[in-house]
Every structure is written in structure tokens, then in C-alpha cells.
Structure 1
Amino acid sequence: MSTIKEVAKIAGVSITTVSRVINNRGYINKETRQKVEKAMTAIDYYPNQIARALQKSQSYLLGVIVPDSNHPFFSELIRCVETYANDQNYKILICNSLGNSEKEANYISMLRQNRVDGIIMCSHTLDLDEYKKVKLPVISFDRIISPTIPYVGADNFRGGELATEHLIQRGCKRLLHISGPLKIDLLPNRRSDAFRLTCMKHDTPCRVIEGEPFKLTFDYYWDFIEQEVSNYLPETDGVFCSNDILAYALYIYATRHGIRVPEDLKIIGYDYHSFTRMLQTPKLTTIKQPIDRIGNALCSKIIQMIEGKNDNLLNNAIVDVELIIGDTT
């Protein structure tokens, strides 16, 4: 079996330099890195990850719990997290809670048993006290859990403000917001706050309809529109949706029922993930969350916590959002 000493000898560098290349630690110039990597390839050397983990009491594993990895937003977020983690020599374990609190609790237990170094929490079905019991570095996406658990999110209030202002500027007089689950205190609820306040500022009649938590499929949204939203559409000329799949479902429903978009009804979504970017007809007007920046922030901050490089009490991050104007407003 090849050894690190052989790699160092072939590359003409010290064992310490080889170790720094393997662990991606410290500055190594491009030429030296290439020599080490070429030497590793020549003798088929692979670092013993298990031995490294035991030596450092680290697994170099991160747990990522999401509501549904099949959803375009979370699949793109996972890709961004995985890319950043890989650059730092970490691997990820992906868990789908599917909006089930028991599954989420079981996954947390499983991740602890598998000695992950930290958990990125993107699913929030449990009570806050349950998260506080986790004796690992934890970072949250879009939820404030406690002062000792940092969070990352986009500027949800600004997103709601941008969406509502845009609809009013487009001439809408009777607005509707289809929100996410307001019963759970999540940062995206600030979108609804901004919607109401902006409508009040412009003296514009408005209504909020609350969606069910953690049901993220097109079929659910279609049924929800039929059962909960359709009766309000004749008296509505602008709708701010909590996500792009809901906005697209509303567009299809409206056009099938003789409601012209954007002439009769203007629709704006939220997210601007891969699904939205692929749509050509229509091109949705939406609020862009910078998923790459969110993913990088989640991963970099959890690694900083694991490696003791940052004070997690001050490790929160809110990233900017942007209005993307399409064909639906």
C-alpha cells in the first residue's frame, strides 16, 4: 500500500507539504500542488479518511436535513452546499424529512450516531427545544432557533416589499398573498408582514391566504388553488405567491379558466430556482433568492463552527434578494 512518505519522496517535497495539499490547508503554490497530485496519481495513493477522522476526532461529514430534495429550491441548495463542502474536504449526508417531525427527530439521532461534525437544518417541523438538545454544531436555514444556533436566510421582508410594490406599480388595486405556513415562526413569514405593511402604506385592499406547511408539490398547489383560492380570483387583480411552483400552478389555473395573465391577473412568485429559469412560457416575474450564496454561507459557517474559527453567537447572515421581471406582471 502506498504511503504519504512515498508521495513526498516522488514529489520532492516534505511530508508536511503533502499533508497540507491533501487537507487543503495553508497556502500551496500551483506548481507544488500539481507535483504532489501527480505523485499521488502515479503510485495510486489515497488518503485514509477513517484514520484521519480518528486522529482528529472528526468525521468530515455534514448532515443536511431538508423537507424534500426533489423540490427545485432544495435540490439546488444541496448542490451548492455539496460543492462548497467538497472544496473543504467534507462530505454530506442528505436527509428528507418530508414535513414529518418524527422523521426529522430520527434523522437527527441517526446523524449523531454516525458522528457527523455538524448539521445544516433546512427542515423545521420540531419544537425549538428539540433543536437546542442537539450537542453538535447546528446552523439553521430560514429559522431563528436560539441565540446559540446561527441562521442564514435571504432578506424575506425586502422580498415581500419588492413584490408588493411591483404589483402596485403595475396598477393592481386588489391584492392577494398566498403565504407559507404562518403558524410556525419562520423567517419567510416576514414576506407576509411586508405585504400587509406595503398595502397599508398605499391604501390598497389586500388578503392573505395561508398555505399548508411542507406540502411543496404542483399537485398540492393545484388542489389548494381550486379549493382555497379560486373563489377570490374574480375580485383580485394581483397575486404574490410564496414560491415559483405555486405561481406557475396559479398561472395554468387562471389561463384554463379564461383569466388572462397579466391583463386580468398579475402574478409574482418567489425563489428563481432552476425550474423557473427553465420556463420559457411564461417567464415568471419573481423574487430571486441567491441560492448559491445561501448554500455557501450555510456550509462555510458550519465548518467555521466545527473548526472553532468563528463565534457562533454572531454568525448569522442575511443575503440580498432581487426582483426579476418576466411576463406575468
Structure 2
Amino acid sequence: MNIKDVAIRAGVSVTTVSRVLNNRGYIGKETRKKVEKAMEEINYSPNQIARALQKSQSYILGIIVPDSNHPFFSELIKHVEITANEHNYKVLICNSLDQLEKETKYISMLKENRVDGLIMCSHTLDVEEYKKLSFPVVTFDRIIANHFPYVAADNYRGGEIATEHLIESGCKKLLHISGPLKLDLLPNRRTDAFRLTCMKHNIDHEVIEGTQDNLTFDYFSDFIESEVSVKLTDFDGVFCSNDLVAYALYLYAAKNNIKVPEQLKIVGYDFHSFTRMLQTPKLTTIAQPVSRIGKILSTTVINMVETKELDSINNSVVDVELIKGETT
């Protein structure tokens, strides 16, 4: 059985069947149903290898993340893969663990496997290395160059909302536990917003810079114990760079008889699956729409692959919102 048999069975043209298979152009719902029903009835399965050879494509996308075990990135990967699958693409997932050597090796591996495009969520490798790549690249939360589109939540607005909420909740001295500021990443705009908002309201404030060495909950717990604990008595509100940090801080406070939110108010960032699963406490946090981010990342790189119009792809910044919980 071949594509002509499907067309005859469905009563449509071969071109229409091709459009359905490649998810290209407008196809009405009823027409799509007829084609899909015809394929099922004659047990037709499109030959992905033949399609790839015909179009000189692999129909494979790569995604490099710092750690797929982190709740945000595991959820992000899910939505990237769902959208890619809808367009008949597969996804190779690579964990860099924020190590330069691993990221470099993964880039080489993706080249060898002739991926059609790359979604870059790890930020260790120097930007010049990405500029050498021959396939389309879309980044998450990082600006590389004008012809490399990025997708991000509105980091500045997120930092502003979190800081304003703590101030409106009565906090007089604020601490921000940031990510690694030495890297030029868009999440650093959260820290910029924190500082400027505090200055605008004449609020005493300080920033403790986190590192990129580890994204595990145990690491964040140790970081709170070693780097943050000695300063907690000086502050009545903390804006954390992510929800795992916020929860680690809450547990430290509970263990050391610091009442949340009476003595210490905490705001996190992400609102991923881990946060939504928590029963006690319900964290106050800034929600990044991870499902929308994943979908945009996937569709952006696919559009770059299929249109070849690399310079016409726009950056995407999506809105964030405050989720009020029990920690403020």
C-alpha cells in the first residue's frame, strides 16, 4: 500500500494526503478525518525514512537541558515532545548537568545524528560555539545573537511582581536568592527588578548569588544551611530564584522555629509540577506558563527548519502571574 492507495480510498488527491502526512497547509477537519480513516482501513503507515531521505531531513530535534530530573525541565521536555510529535518530529534529550564538557559532546553527537534543529536550555557553552552550528537553534532564557530566536517568560515582570507582593505584605527588609549572575541570562532580569523595586520603595535589600553547579533539592538545602541561614535574622521577606529553593528555605525555617509567614515571608518562582503537588505549604510563587513555553520552543524551531527563513522568526516573551499561597 502507498500514498496513492490512501488517496483513492479517501477520495482525495495525493497532494491532500501528503499535506496531512506532513502537517502542511490548511486541511479541513473532515478531510483530515477521511484521510486518517483511509490510512487505518488499509493499514498504511508512512515510511519515515523515505520521507526523511526525500526531504534531506531527519525529523529529529535535539534539546539540551541542565537536568531533566528538575521538575521545571522535566515538564518543559514533556510539552516540547508533545508538540514535536504533533508535527511528526522526534526529540533527542540531552542532560548537560551544566558541565561544559558534556554540553560540547552533546553538540557533537547531535551534529553526527544530523538533527534538524536544536532547543538550547543549558547555558554553559560559549555563545560563539552555537554560532558555528549549521542547523537552526532556538534558546530558552538566553540571548545569543539576532538570528537565534529566544523564548522566555517575562523575567523582569516576574521579579517586579514578587518584590512588590512582599512589600505590600508588610516586609521592610528583603533578601533575594538569585541564580548565577556571572552568566548573561534573561533570568538575571528578575534580580534587576528586585533591586530597582526595592530602591523605588526605599526598602533595605540584599542579593545572595546562587551557583549553577547543581539543581537538586539536596543541594539547595545545603546552600540554605551554609550560605543563607546566617542572614535570615536580618530579613523578613525572601524572594527565591525557584520553587525548590523556596521550599528548602521553608523547611529550614520550620526546623529552626522561624514562623512562616508571620516572621518570614517567602516567594518562589516557577509553579511547576512539584509546586502544584505540594500540600503543605502552598507556596506563594510566580508562575511561568511551562506548557506554553514548551509549545512555542517546539513550534519555533520546527518553523525555522521547514521555512528556512531564519531571520524572520521572532522572539517570544510570555506573561507570568502571582500565585498566592500560604508563605506570604
TM-score (norm 1): 0.97
Shift of 1:70: 1.1
Is the alpha carbon distance of 1:73 and 1:137 closer, same or farther for their aligned partners in structure 2, counting shifts above 3 Å?
same
- Conserved in 2, the CA contact under 8 Å of 1:147 and 1:313? no
1:194 is the counterpart of 2:196: no
Deviations 1:90-142 (Å, cap 9, x if unpaired)? Answer: 11111111111111111111111111111000001011111111111001100
Q: Secondary structure at the match of 2:307?
A: coil
1:133 is the counterpart of 2:109: no
Counterpart Cα distance in 1 of 2:12 and 2:314: 38
Deviations 1:200-234 (Å, cap 9, x if unpaired)? Answer: 11111111101111411110011000100000011
Counterpart Cα distance in 1 of 2:9 and 2:275: 50
Is the alpha carbon distance of 1:289 and 1:11 closer, same or farther for their aligned partners in structure 2, counting shifts above 3 Å?
same
Counterpart Cα distance in 2 of 1:115 and 1:311: 18
- The corresponding residue for 1:13 is 12
1:258 is the counterpart of 2:237: no
Shift of 1:40: 1.4
- Conserved in 2, the CA contact under 8 Å of 1:177 and 1:208? yes
- The corresponding residue for 1:123 is 122
Counterpart Cα distance in 1 of 2:215 and 2:238: 18
Q: Which amino acid aligns with 2:147?
A: T
Q: Relative to structure 2, which stretch is displaced further, 125-134 or 27-36?
A: 27-36
Counterpart Cα distance in 1 of 2:283 and 2:161: 15
Shift of 1:237: 0.5
Q: Secondary structure at the match of 1:64?
A: strand
- The corresponding residue for 1:213 is 212
- The corresponding residue for 1:101 is 100
Q: Which amino acid aligns with 2:71?
A: P
- The corresponding residue for 1:69 is 68
- The corresponding residue for 1:60 is 59
Q: Which amino acid aligns with 1:328?
A: T
- The corresponding residue for 2:181 is 182
Deviations 1:146-188 (Å, cap 9, x if unpaired)? Answer: 1221111111111111111111111111110000000111000
Q: Relative to structure 2, which stretch is displaced further, 29-38 or 92-101?
A: 29-38
Counterpart Cα distance in 1 of 2:4 and 2:307: 30
- Conserved in 2, the CA contact under 8 Å of 1:149 and 1:313? no
Counterpart Cα distance in 1 of 2:290 and 2:2: 40
Shift of 1:31: 2.8
- The corresponding residue for 1:249 is 248
Deviations 1:50-103 (Å, cap 9, x if unpaired)? Answer: 111111111111101101111110111111111111111211111111111111
Counterpart Cα distance in 2 of 1:218 and 1:18: 49
- Conserved in 1, the CA contact under 8 Å of 2:159 and 2:194? yes
- The corresponding residue for 2:321 is 322
Shift of 1:314: 5.2
Q: Secondary structure at the match of 1:315?
A: coil
- Of all paired residues, the percent bearing the same amino acid is 70
1:38 is the counterpart of 2:29: no
Structure 2: segments with no counterpart, 5+ residues: none
Q: Secondary structure at the match of 1:175?
A: strand
- The corresponding residue for 1:28 is 27
Shift of 1:311: 4.7
Counterpart Cα distance in 2 of 1:114 and 1:10: 36
Q: Secondary structure at the match of 1:307?
A: helix
Counterpart Cα distance in 2 of 1:197 and 1:37: 56
Q: Which amino acid aligns with 1:180?
A: G
Q: Secondary structure at the match of 1:240?
A: strand
Shift of 1:30: 2.6
1:304 is the counterpart of 2:286: no
Shift of 1:310: 4.6
CA-based RMSD = 1.3
Shift of 1:25: 1.8
Aligned length, in residue pairs: 328
Q: Which amino acid aligns with 1:306?
A: V
1:237 is the counterpart of 2:202: no
Counterpart Cα distance in 1 of 2:88 and 2:314: 22
Counterpart Cα distance in 2 of 1:70 and 1:108: 20
- Conserved in 1, the CA contact under 8 Å of 2:238 and 2:265? yes
Q: Which amino acid aligns with 1:243?
A: N
Q: Which amino acid aligns with 2:256?
A: H
Counterpart Cα distance in 2 of 1:32 and 1:170: 56
Shift of 1:308: 2.0
- Conserved in 2, the CA contact under 8 Å of 1:172 and 1:237? yes
- The corresponding residue for 2:156 is 157
Shift of 1:294: 1.1
- Conserved in 2, the CA contact under 8 Å of 1:178 and 1:209? yes
Is the alpha carbon distance of 1:6 and 1:314 closer, same or farther for their aligned partners in structure 2, counting shifts above 3 Å?
closer
1:294 is the counterpart of 2:293: yes
Q: Secondary structure at the match of 2:172?
A: coil
